Amino acid sequence: MDHETLRADMVDGLEHALERPLGAAVLDALGTVPRHEFVDDAYEPGGDEVAGSRVLGLRTVARLIAALEAGEGDDTLVVGAGIGYTAAVLAEIVGGRHVHAIDIDRRLVHIARDNLGAAGYDAVLVDRRDGATGYPEYAPFDRVLIESAVHDVPRAIREQLADEGRIVFPRGTTDQTLVAVEPADDALDVVGEFGPVGFRPMLVDGEQPSGHERNRTRREDAEFDSQGYFAKTGWEYEWLDWDDRLDSR
């Protein structure tokens, strides 16, 4: 199967379908990331699910990334790692070491890490966190993308945004609109609206599809078993120098 040709066909016509320009950086990133490493039937429209999480369609990902207006070197937080595809597309734009993705579901964190590794985006950092708390260790962020519906940006995430940063998120519950907000005085002003969307609400601990295993031994045994005998043990990255990563910011 010629995945490169399939990706080109998939991306071709996106701007016409969405009736808006996406920009060369977004189109190039979508055309570069090997989507087949992240999801089955990668080049077919549909509502696939992985580990109880709905896989975002290409048009939705394109809208999110375009609304974010990220540039090279922008430190970016993705709230809702999912299968890792959106983080990979952002890595093509801002650089892998500038992308941080979090998810409340441990199984999805494991899946996203595996997918990103297989696709060549090992530099992207994926961690298990409650989305509402953000990722303060690596703040401030120039760009934040929230891939779940909320009434308003959680306070912790607002506080982790750089002074000239931007947050893109689905605002609302039943009726949702994709919006971009930026800091203005002590508030966040809406600087763009990008049409209706239909995201699932942000989860709290215990609501994630894989459940919440409080016994660390059983949890890590399950993770080890799912990775195979020769996988790295434990939940942490053995290869990542955390201190070096923090010091480099």
Distance CA 22, CA 18 (A): 9
Exposed, middle or buried by CB within 10 Å (0-12, 13-18, 19+), for 123? middle
Query: Rounded to whole angstroms, how far apart are CA atoms 72 and 51?
Result: 32
Question: Which two three-digit tokens encode residue 32?
Answer: 């570069």
Structure confidence at residue 235 (pLDDT)? 46
Q: Give the model's pLDDT for residue 144.
A: 98
- Residue ranges and CATH numbers for the domains of the chain are 71-212 (3.40.50.150)
pLDDT the model gives residue 189: 96
pTM of the model: 0.78
List the chain residues with pLDDT less than 50.
Answer: 206-207, 212-220, 222-227, 229-236, 238-239
DSSP code of residue 36: G
